[in-house]
Amino acid sequence: MRIDIQRLGAGLLLLFVPIVARAADAPDPAAVERGRRLVEGRQFLKAEWSDAAYRAVGKAWGEPAPDPDGDPEGYARAFARRYGLHPAPFPNDGLPMGLKRSMKADGKTRGMQVDCLVCHGGSIGGTSYVGLPNTQVDYAGFFPDLFRADGRRAPLLPFVLNTSRGTTNAGMMSVALMSIRNPDLSMRTFPMPMGSNLPELDAPPWWVLKYKRTMYYDGRTPAASVRSIMQFLLAEKTAEQFRELEPDFADIHAYIRSIEAPKYPFPIDRAAADRGRSVFEASCASCHGTYGATVDYPNEVVPLDVIGTDPARIAGLSDRAVEHYNATWFAEDHPVDPTVERGYQAPPLVGIWASAPYLHNGSVPTLRALLDSPRRPRRYLRPPSTDFEHYDRRDVGWKFVEAPEGPPDPKDPRRVFDASRYGLGVGGHTFGDKLGEAERTDLIEYLKTL
Ligand code: HEC
Ligand code: HEC
Ligand number nearest to the C-alpha of 137: 1
Q: Which of 157, 55, 67, 61 is nearest to 99 (CA)?
A: 55
Distance 8 CA to ligand 1 centre (A): 47
Give the Cα separation of 280 and 296 in Å (integer). 14
What H or E segment, with its residue span, contains residue 74? helix 72-83
In the chain, the amino acid numbered 90 is F
**How many other CB atoms are there within 10 angstroms of residue 192's CB atom?**
15
Q: What proportions of the chain, in percent to the nearest 5, are helix, strand and coil? A: 40, 15, 45
Any idea what the Cα angle at residue 420 is, between residues 415 and 421, rounded to 5°?
Answer: 70
**CA 328 to chain CA centroid, nearest Å:** 24
- The atom of ligand 2 lying closest to the CA of 357 is 27
398 lines ligand 2 (CB under 6 A): no
301 lines ligand 2 (CB under 6 A): no
What H or E segment, with its residue span, contains residue 278? helix 270-283
Residue 359 lies in a domain: no
Residues with Cβ within 8 Å of 104's Cβ and at least 6 positions away in sequence, in order, are 46, 47, 48, 50, 110, 111
Largest CA distance in the chain: 87
Distance 136 CA to ligand 2 centre (A): 23
232 lines ligand 1 (CB under 6 A): yes
53 lines ligand 2 (CB under 6 A): no
Residue 274 lies in a domain: no
Distance 203 CA to ligand 1 centre (A): 6
344 lines ligand 1 (CB under 6 A): no
**CA 124 to chain CA centroid, nearest Å:** 15
Collapsed DSSP state (helix, strand, coil) of residue 128: strand
369 lines ligand 2 (CB under 6 A): no
- As for how many domains the chain has, the answer is 1
Collapsed DSSP state (helix, strand, coil) of residue 139: helix
Per-residue confidence in pLDDT tens, the chain, 450 aa: 444 444 444 444 444 433 333 444 788 999 999 999 999 999 999 999 999 999 999 999 988 999 999 999 999 999 999 999 999 999 999 999 999 999 999 999 999 999 999 999 999 999 999 999 999 999 999 999 999 999 999 988 889 999 999 999 999 999 999 999 999 999 998 999 999 999 999 999 999 999 999 999 999 999 999 999 999 999 899 999 999 999 999 999 999 999 999 999 999 999 999 999 999 999 999 999 999 989 999 999 999 999 999 999 999 999 999 999 999 999 999 999 999 999 999 999 999 999 999 999 999 999 999 999 999 999 999 999 999 999 999 999 999 999 988 888 988 999 999 999 999 999 999 999 999 999 999 999 999 999
Paired strand residues for 221: 215
Separation in Å, CA 186 to CA 100, 128, 241, 348, 445: 27, 38, 12, 38, 52
Q: Which of 244, 254, 164, 156 is nearest to 200 (CA)?
A: 164
209 lines ligand 1 (CB under 6 A): yes
Which pTM value belongs to this model? Answer: 0.94
DSSP 126: T
Residue 102 lies in a domain: yes
Backbone angles phi, psi at 214, to 5 degrees: -125, 155
Residue 10 lies in a domain: no
Residue nearest to atom 41 of ligand 2 (CA): 284
Long-range contacts of 153-159 (CB under 8 A, 24+ apart): 159/197, 159/198
Distance 285 CA to ligand 2 centre (A): 10
Q: Would strands 379-381 and 295-296 be described as parallel, antiparallel, or unpaired?
A: unpaired
Paired strand residues for 181: 187
The DSSP annotation for 182-238 comes to -TTSPBPSSPPP----PPPBPPPPGGGGGG-SEETTTT-EETT-SGGGGGGGGGT--
Q: What is the pLDDT of residue 8?
A: 45
CA dihedral 201, 207, 208, 214 (to 10 degrees): 80
170 lines ligand 1 (CB under 6 A): yes
Residue 369 lies in a domain: no
- The atom of ligand 2 lying closest to the CA of 355 is 26
346 lines ligand 2 (CB under 6 A): yes
Where in the sequence is the domain holding 74, given as residue range(s)? 42-156
Q: Which of 416, 381, 373, 378 is nearest to 398 (CA)?
A: 381
Q: What is the pLDDT of residue 318?
A: 95
Residue 124 lies in a domain: yes
168 lines ligand 1 (CB under 6 A): yes
Q: What is the pLDDT of residue 11?
A: 44
